[in-house]
Amino acid sequence: MAQQFANGVNSWLHINGGRSKIFDRRGIAPMQAVYQRLARWQDYFRDARSGAQVAVVFSRYTQDSYGRGDPYGRYVDAVRGYYCALLEAHIPFDVLSDKFLDAARLAQYAVLVLPNTACLTDAAVAAITAFAARGGTVVGTYEAGRYDELGVLRPVAPLATMLGGTYGAQRSKLKSSYGYIALRDDPVVDGLGDTDVVPNDGDLIEFTPGPGNIVPLTLIEPVTAHAGATISIPEYSAVTSATDIPVAVYGSHGSGKVVLFTNRMDALFYKYGFADLGRLLSNAVLLGLGHARNLLVVAPDYVDVTQQLQPGRCMVHLINFAVGKHVNTGWRHPGRNLVAVPGIRVRLRLSPGQVMREVRTATDERVLAHTLDCEQAGKGIWAEVIVPRLEDHEIVIFEFA
C-alpha cells in the first residue's frame, strides 16, 4: 500500500468476508492505522505528479505476440528483473504502456528502458528513435524492438540501426558461460569489484558493433570439462579466453545514447538475484542519466525510493521492504519482521533558480538540518539531509522559497 501511494495511486480497500461471524480480524487495526496516516498526509498526495527521470516500458503486444505460451518466461520476467534492479539502486521510475509513446509523453524522461520489449508498433519505434536523437538514452535488452506488434520479425531492427550495428546468430543454452569485463574502467561495469567475470546463462544474440560503439562486456563461451560434461572438474574448468561477442554494447545516436544487453540480463537477475547483474542493469541507466541525475539516496537495497512533485515542493518517498529472503523467482517472501533503517542519506539537486527553504519529514513534521554544496562544474547545487530513522514509510519534503 505504501508503494501504491508513493507512486501516485489511490487505493480502495475491499475486505472479503468482513461481516462474517467467522473471520480473520488481525489485519483490520493495521489497515486502520495506515489509512489514518494517509489521511494526515493527504496534502502531500493532492495533485502531485511523478518526478522520475526514468521510464520502463511495459508492452502488452510483447506479452501476447512474443510471449505466446510462456509470457512470463519469455517477457514478463525481464520487466520484473529491471524493476528489481532499479528498486535496489534507488532510482525512481515510471512504468509506461507501449501504446502511448510519443514526444509529449516522453519529454519528462532522460532514460527509457525496454526490458526485452520485443514487439513495438511503427509509431512506438519512431517515438523511441526520436527520443534518443533528441538527447535521451534508450536501454534495451535481448530482442527489444525486433518485431512489430503482431510478432513479425522486422527486416531492420531499430536498436541495431541506432547503434549502426547488425544482429547475427541467436544462441541458446549458454549454461556455465560468463560475461568478461573487457573495459574495467567503463561506467557500465562500475562497482563490480575485483572480478574479471559476471554470471551468464540462457540466450544471447550475437551482435556486430557499429562504428564508435563501446563494448565493456563480452561473452565467455560455456566452461565445461569436455563436450557433454554434466559436472565441473576444477582442473579442466579454468577460463582461459574470452570472445569479442558483445554482452553489453553502447553508442551514440543523434544527441543521445543507446545501450543494448544482447542477453536476457534482466530476466537472469529476476531468476537468480545475482547482485552483479542488477548493478549492470542500473549502471546502464546511470550512464544515461549522467550529470542530469537529480536524486541520490544512500540506504540498504531494500529501501524503495520514489519522487513526487508539487508546486514549490519535491517529495521523496522512502519505503522499507525489509524482507530480504529471496526465493528462486526473484521475489521475496512476505516479511515477518520490520527492521527500522537508521541514517538514510538523501541528496537532491536543485534546479536553476531554486532556493531551499526547509526540509522536513511527514511522520512528525520535523524540520531536518540540511546542507548545501556545489560539486564539479555542471552538476549544480545539492541539498543533503540525513533521515534519522525509517520505520515503514516516510516522506521527505523539500520546500523551496
What whole-number distance in Å separates Cα of residue 401 and Cα of residue 391? 29
pLDDT in tens, 255-274: 999 999 999 999 999 999 89
328 pLDDT band, cuts 50/70/90, is low
Amino acid type, 260:
L
pLDDT in tens, 23-42: 888 888 988 999 999 999 99
Least Cα distance to 230 among 242, 240, 222 occurs for 222
Residue 21 has a pLDDT of 84
Residue 117 has pLDDT above 80, yes or no: yes
Residue 324 has a pLDDT of 54
Q: Nine-digit cell at 134?
A: 533528441
Residue 369 has pLDDT above 70, yes or no: yes
Q: What is the arithmetic mean of pLDDT over 128-157?
A: 97
What does each C-alpha distance from 41 to 5, 6, 38 come to in angstroms? 10, 11, 5
187 pLDDT band, cuts 50/70/90, is very high
Q: Torsions phi, psi of 98, nearest 5?
A: -70, -10
Residue 174 has pLDDT above 50, yes or no: yes
The answer to which of 18-27, 148-157, 363-372 has the lowest mean pLDDT is 18-27
Residue 378 has a pLDDT of 53
What whole-number distance in Å separates Cα of residue 33 and Cα of residue 17? 20
Q: Nine-digit cell at 263?
A: 542477453
3-state secondary structure of 227: coil
93, burial (CB in 10 Å: exposed 0-12, middle 13-18, buried 19+)? buried
What whole-number distance in Å separates Cα of residue 339 and Cα of residue 220? 41
The answer to which of 80-89, 259-268, 318-327, 337-346 has the lowest mean pLDDT is 318-327
237 pLDDT band, cuts 50/70/90, is low
- C-beta separation of 353 from 386 below 8 A: no
Residue 116 has pLDDT above 90, yes or no: yes
Residue 377 has pLDDT above 50, yes or no: no
Strands 204-208 and 197-200: unpaired
Share of the chain above pLDDT 70, in %: 92
What whole-number distance in Å separates Cα of residue 71 and Cα of residue 267? 12
What whole-number distance in Å separates Cα of residue 9 and Cα of residue 369? 30
Residue 225 has a pLDDT of 61
What is the average pLDDT score of the chain?
Answer: 92
Q: Which CATH superfamily is domain 50-289 in?
A: Class I glutamine amidotransferase (GATase) domain (3.40.50.880)
Where residue 172 falls (left for φ over 0; alpha for ψ -120 to 50; beta otherwise) is beta
Share of the chain above pLDDT 90, in %: 79
What whole-number distance in Å separates Cα of residue 228 and Cα of residue 248? 28
- C-beta separation of 109 from 54 below 8 A: yes
In sequence order, the β-bridge partners of residue 139 are 113, 259
What whole-number distance in Å separates Cα of residue 58 and Cα of residue 75? 10
Class of domain 294-401: mainly beta
What whole-number distance in Å separates Cα of residue 275 and Cα of residue 261? 16
pLDDT in tens, 65-77: 999 999 999 999 9
Task: Map out the domains of the chain as residue ranges.
Answer: 1-40, 50-289, 294-401
53 pLDDT band, cuts 50/70/90, is very high
